[in-house]
Amino acid sequence: MGDKRPNVKGIDVDTNTRCAHYHTEKDIIAIKFHCCKEYYACYYCHKEAAGHHAIRWPKEEWDGPAILCGNCSHELSISTYLDVNNCPNCDHEFNEGCSNHYHLYFEYDRKGL
């Protein structure tokens, strides 16, 4: 990815992309929002700070970089992120509870992702 880490916006974002809303040891991913192509720590941070409504990622665009590991700054595609429990670069565990919020970030059908 290079030496420059993408800027992560949000409320009280720390160096591992944790925010005021999600701040456990596993809460280390940031999401690039489809609507503005900016990384935010979470949906609530985007809602509070972006000044516009969030637009979910369409399935046909899940192969580009849109997930940032806050531990090592590795960017993952949505497709890769949905298939792993840990960062493929540094092996840091991701919060399994994030799956409860996929509908806020990613388009899906009634059968699931």
pTM of the model: 0.90
Mean pLDDT of all residues in the chain?
Answer: 92
**75: enclosing H helix or E strand:** strand 75-77
Q: Residue 111's pLDDT is what?
A: 58
Query: In this structure, is residue 68 part of a structural domain?
Result: yes
Q: Whole domain around residue 80: which residue ranges?
A: 8-105
Tokens of 11: 């409320």
- Of 81, 71, 14, 13, which is closest to residue 44 (Cα–Cα)? 13
Query: In this structure, is residue 44 part of a structural domain?
Result: yes
**Total domain count, the chain:** 1
Helices (H), 1-113: 43-49, 78-83, 102-105
Query: In this structure, is residue 2 part of a structural domain?
Result: no
Query: In this structure, is residue 111 part of a structural domain?
Result: no
Q: Residue 99's pLDDT is what?
A: 87
Residue 1 has pLDDT above 90, yes or no: no
d(CA 46, CA 29): 14
